[in-house]
Amino acid sequence: MASKAKTVFVCNDCGAQVVRWQGQCPQCKAWNTMAEQIVAPAPAAAGTGAAARFAALAGEGGQVLQLNGVDAREEARISTRMEEFDRVLGGGLVAGGVVLLGGDPGVGKSTLLLQTLAMLAAGLPVLYVSGEESAAQVALRARRLQLDAGALRMLPEINLERILARLREHAPQVVVIDSIQTLYCEALSSAPGSVGQVRECAAQLTRYAKQTGTAMILVGHVTKDGALAGPRVLEHIVDTVLYFEGDTHSSFRLVRAFKNRFGAVNELGVFGMTERGLRGVSNPSAIFLSQHQQEVAGSCVLVTQEGTRPLLVEIQALVDDAHSPNPRRLSVGLEQNRLAMLLAVLHRHAGVGCFDQDVFVNAVGGVKITEPAADLAVLLAIVSSLRGKVLPRTLAVFGEVGLAGEIRPAPRGQERLREAAKLGFRWALIPRANAPKRAPEGLQVKAVERLEEAIDWLRTLE
């Protein structure tokens, strides 16, 4: 008879093991780092040990294979029937792929996945596993969203062993687990949501998905800092990590890919929340551009790149006299440390000082911009506000600003220019290295090498 699996507590920092939980690690003296883990009883007999389980995951009994002899066929992706969701996933769900979707409470994770499964259920066997809501609550949401969910099957359960048994019994092609933090494994004595439980449940579900070719989506909770709750290894186990972002005061939601083994990272999907659930936004640039009745100073349109999609985002700046010895530097949607660096470059190489001014910068629409190609647009918006000079509404800008005042190129410059021309922009201020051989029709391109050259060119515009 196979021995029963044992558990130990392992420090997440140094790897020290103890047989009972302790608040402080006896090895590295770190607090609250001990997490429960299952230990294989003995490598001897049955197939319950770690070696046997990993051999089953490999599917080849532990044999050494010749890589060029492995049958690696490209299988068709499973479309979610939502264009924006497919874009973030890299073209759709992959058989055997595991997706982790995280986001703040109430942002719309369950709504998006319920809509997706309701549309897929018409042609594929799917299963919605709900660990947070009862069957009646899920049915009420489907009715409220007016979904055709007659063929959608659901399982209200949090016990991992029972969930795996039902999965083997019904063999669905697409499974949603809502959420991974609510599940528990009987082999562990810790509570659902603990580090050990989340790690073990995610590992066993991932193993099942790889063995059977089931596309699986795990819903994850986030902490107050916005990071996914649970062990960091959770993000390493899965194939794709998506973050669901959105302001409760806005009807728009963003789904961003931070990891994707089957597609581009930093891909962005834009959704609008309606009475009938989430709907894809066909022209997301429109929500990131303010509609001013008249032109105002301190506004500059940036052409940014999110994954494979170019987006036009309005950058707003407000420069005002400082009323304290330490002027404020505040940015929303942009990196604050980079703002301080750009202000120093602006003063040193363009002779525009803001040392006695409060500077506030904002990216319209709640979008978060991390690429350095936003530098030039940020500085032009600051200069516009400081001098009270209005920039043309039809001017689009992109380019990275170096510490020496040079304007460095941005990737995919041609795609950015085509997007600006498609939306009716007449002027584009870009790095010289991105200058096209032939500009898009209706777009006049000005390529510059230095920051001072870009600021001087603005004076020539009407």
Q: How wide is the angle at C-alpha 432 spanned by C-alphas 430 and 436, nearest 5°?
A: 80
d(C-alpha 202, C-alpha 415), whole Å: 39
Q: How far apart are CA 84 and CA 244, in angstroms?
A: 13
Residue 17 lies in a domain: yes
Question: What backbone torsions phi and psi does residue 106 show, to the nearest 5 degrees?
Answer: 80, 5
Q: What is the pTM of this model?
A: 0.75
Structure tokens at 249: 């005061």
Spatial distance between the Cα atoms of 8 and 31, rounded to a whole number of angstroms = 17
pLDDT at 1 (0 to 100): 43
- Token pair 């940014």 in the structure block, residue: 304
Six-digit token pair at 148?
A: 């055709």
The structure tokens 């197939």 sit at 47
Distance CA 14, CA 25 (A): 9
Tell me the CATH number at 204: 3.40.50.300
- Token code pair at residue 52: 């046997």
Terminal C-alpha separation, the chain: 87
Burial of 127 (0-12, 13-18, 19+ CB in 10 A): buried
Residue 438 lies in a domain: yes
Q: Which of 99, 391, 55 is nearest to 218 (CA)?
A: 99
At 191 the three-state DSSP class reads: coil
Judgement on whether residues 21 and 131 belong to the same structural domain of the protein = no
Helices and strands (H and E) in the chain: how many: 11, 21
> Do residue 299 and residue 277 come from a single domain?
no
Q: CA 76 to CA 218: how far, in whole Å?
A: 21
Instruction: Report yes or no on 65 lying in a domain.
Output: no
Q: Which two tokens stand for residue 55?
A: 């051999």
Classify burial at 295, counting beta carbons within 10 Å of its beta carbon; exposed 0-12, middle 13-18, buried 19 or more: exposed
Q: Are 228 and 160 found together in one domain? A: yes
For 304, the domain range is 287-458
Residue with tokens 């039809």: 394
Domain contains 70:
no
Q: How far apart are CA 453 and CA 462, in angstroms?
A: 17
- Tokens coding 91: 């073209």
Which of 282, 303, 324 is where one domain is finished? 282
Residues 328 and 411 in one domain: yes
Last residue of a domain, one of 254, 282, 310: 282
Residues 6+ apart with CB under 8 A from 304: 310, 311, 312, 313, 369, 371, 373, 374, 398
Same domain, 273 and 394: no
Domain count, the chain: 3
Same domain as 294, residue 265: no
Look up residue 264 and give its two tokens. Answer: 């581009």
Residue 55 within any structural domain of the chain: no
Q: Which helix (H) or strand (E) holds 244?
A: strand 240-246
- Three-class SS state of 215: strand
Q: What is the DSSP letter of 111?
A: H
Measured distance CA(459)–CA(352) in Å, rounded:
15
d(CA 254, CA 369): 13
* Assigned domain for 61 exists: no
| Residues 256 and 386 reside in one and the same domain | no
To the nearest 10°, report the CA torsion of 363, 364, 366, 372: -30
Spell out a b/e string for 4-37, using b for 16 or more CB atoms within 10 Å of the CB, else e. Answer: eeebbbbbeeeebeeeeeeeebeeeeeeebbbbb
Neighbours of 456 (CB within 10 A): 12
Contact indicator for 9, 26 with CB cutoff of 8 Å: no
Asked if 311 contacts 266 with a C-beta cutoff of 8 angstroms, the reply is no
| Residue 192 and residue 144 in one domain | yes
Is the CB of residue 429 less than 8 Å from the CB of residue 395?
A: yes
Same domain as 97, residue 245: yes
Do 397 and 427 form a contact (C-beta atoms < 8 A)?
A: no
Which tens digit of pLDDT belongs to each residue from 257-316? 989 998 888 788 889 888 888 998 877 777 777 666 677 899 999 999 887 788 899 999
- The DSSP code for 330 is E
Final residue before a domain boundary, out of 282, 311, 339:
282
Phi then psi for residue 343, to 5 deg, are: -65, -35
Q: Do residues 198 and 263 both lie within one domain? A: yes
Rounded distance between C-alpha atoms, residue 129 and residue 159, angstroms: 11
Per-residue pLDDT of the chain (462 residues; tens, 9 = 90+): 445 567 788 887 777 888 888 888 888 888 888 888 776 554 443 444 434 443 444 444 567 888 888 877 777 899 999 999 999 999 999 999 999 999 888 888 999 999 999 999 989 999 999 999 999 999 999 999 999 888 899 999 999 999 999 999 999 999 999 989 999 999 888 888 888 889 899 999 999 999 999 999 999 988 877 778 777 888 999 999 999 887 766 778 889 898 999 888 878 888 988 888 899 887 777 777 766 667 789 999 999 988 778 889 999 999 999 988 899 999 998 988 899 999 999 999 999 989 899 999 999 877 888 899 999 999 999 999 999 989 988 899 999 999 999 999 999 999 999 999 988 899 999 999 999 989 899 899 999 999 999 998 887 765
180, 220 in Cβ contact below 8 A?
yes
Q: Which amino acid is at 111?
A: T
Task: Establish if 66 belongs to a structural domain.
Answer: no
Query: If residue 331 lies in a helix (H) or strand (E), which one and from where to where?
Result: strand 329-332
- The pLDDT value given to residue 56: 47
* pLDDT value, residue 242: 94
Cβ–Cβ under 8 Å, residues 254 and 101:
no
